[in-house]
Structure 1
Amino acid sequence: MGCMPASPSRASAPFGALDFQLVLLRRMADHNADLVDDARRDLGVSVAEMREANRRWQAMARSPRSRGAASRYRSALGAPQTARRTIGDLECEALRWPVPLWPELRFEVLLAPNGAVWNEWLVRAPGAPAPELRTVEDLTPWSCTVDEAARAFAPARPMEGTAPTRWGLLFEAPDARGERRPYAAEFTWGLLQRVRE
């Protein structure tokens, strides 16, 4: 299938929330191309526009004049909701933005006390109901976040991801017959992409 070139107006417009959603989708396309295509069509953009948004984001991140990661997110997504979070013995500032593609989620950036970005991923929005995760069959693509899967199937062991925006979890879960088996789950930007035995 041929792709139309990126719209000149989008390529020259300021990088915004729509473009950032395309960056999230671009990374998820490796695992769930059909879901990404559906989401991209819902947003009314082409494959070429998704690639161009990702190219622009990477160029901003790698530029010698690049702002810090937190500033890039503020520039693209606007003013965040802020909260304090304690993880282990580290207290962080959490910056959160709504993501229209996933209204029940927020994009969260955790800042260390020195202002450095410690983590960046999708989390459940405060007050939004978490999914019910009882068996491995409940773990469908895009159904839950890293934290939710880790809590549902504790004790889960984190695995290093294959790229900076990817995470993994090793855990045991019952299947539909109630038999517990070991599984590995892969997440991109904190959102579940696939589970394998």
Structure 2
Amino acid sequence: MGPVPTGRRTTEPFTPLDFQLVLLRRMADHNPGPVEDARHALGVSPADMREANRRWQAMVRSPRPRPALARYRSVLGEPESRTPRRVGELDCEAWRWPVPLWPTLRFEVLTPVAAGAVWNEWLVRAPDAEPPALHTLEDLTPWSCTVDEAARAFAPARPLEGSAPTRWGLALTAPDASGAPREVVAEFTWGLLQRTAVSGSRP
């Protein structure tokens, strides 16, 4: 993706590029370094990012908001895939869209069939993409993995309540470079790892 002009007007349609800026804006709270690199790669300014986030929040918090699934469809277009899922006794679908900024990931929303609501919304690995090799604490670098990948690699992992709807946490145990087990809290935004904090070692 090449650079785009800065100073995007509020009257312009909300585009997939704008949506990527929304994802980045939330990630910047925890991990500004990669976000700045991505912003430069996209050719947009900090003001563009703030404006995209402001417009998105206005859509979400509108007194008459459209259903969440319709909002994603209007911004991202038709999904790349729609996969049936069963959650408990309920039938639902996983809708996935490509995200140019992360070619090996997809943006996924989980929606009840024919309901238009969204139960979950995050980044997941693309079906044909090679998953990351996660063996030690050193492998848990920013943007290296998704929530489900970390949970599988370092099972059993305990989910933690996030500080915002788009944030998740996992408490897990991962060996460090010497092989010693370490208690780790991993923080995710939109399902993508942002940072880890080591709380100690297991006796």
Same fold (TM over 0.5): yes
1:129 lines up with 2:130 in the alignment? yes
Task: For residue 67 of structure 1, give the secondary structure of its aligned residue in structure 2.
Answer: coil
Task: For residue 83 of structure 1, give the secondary structure of its aligned residue in structure 2.
Answer: strand
Partner of 1:112: 112
Partner of 2:171: 170
Give the Å deviation of 1:39: 0.2
**Cα deviation code 1:51-85 (max 9, x no counterpart):** 00000000000111210111110011000121112
Distance 2:7 2:141 in 1: 37
**For residues 150-161 of structure 1, what are the structure 2 equivalents within 5 Å?**
150-161=151-162
Partner of 2:58: 59
1:88–1:128 Cα change, 3 Å: farther
TM superposition score normalised by structure 2: 0.90
1:9–1:33 Cα change, 3 Å: closer
TM superposition score normalised by structure 1: 0.93
Gaps (5+ residues) in structure 1? 1-5
Gaps (5+ residues) in structure 2? 199-203
Partner of 1:3: none
Q: Sequence identity, in percent?
A: 70
**Residue 18 of structure 2 aligns to which amino acid in structure 1?**
D
Distance 1:9 1:154 in 2: 44
Give the Å deviation of 1:87: 4.1
**Residue 160 of structure 2 aligns to which amino acid in structure 1?**
M
Partner of 1:91: 91
**Cα deviation code 1:127-146 (max 9, x no counterpart):** 11100000010000000000
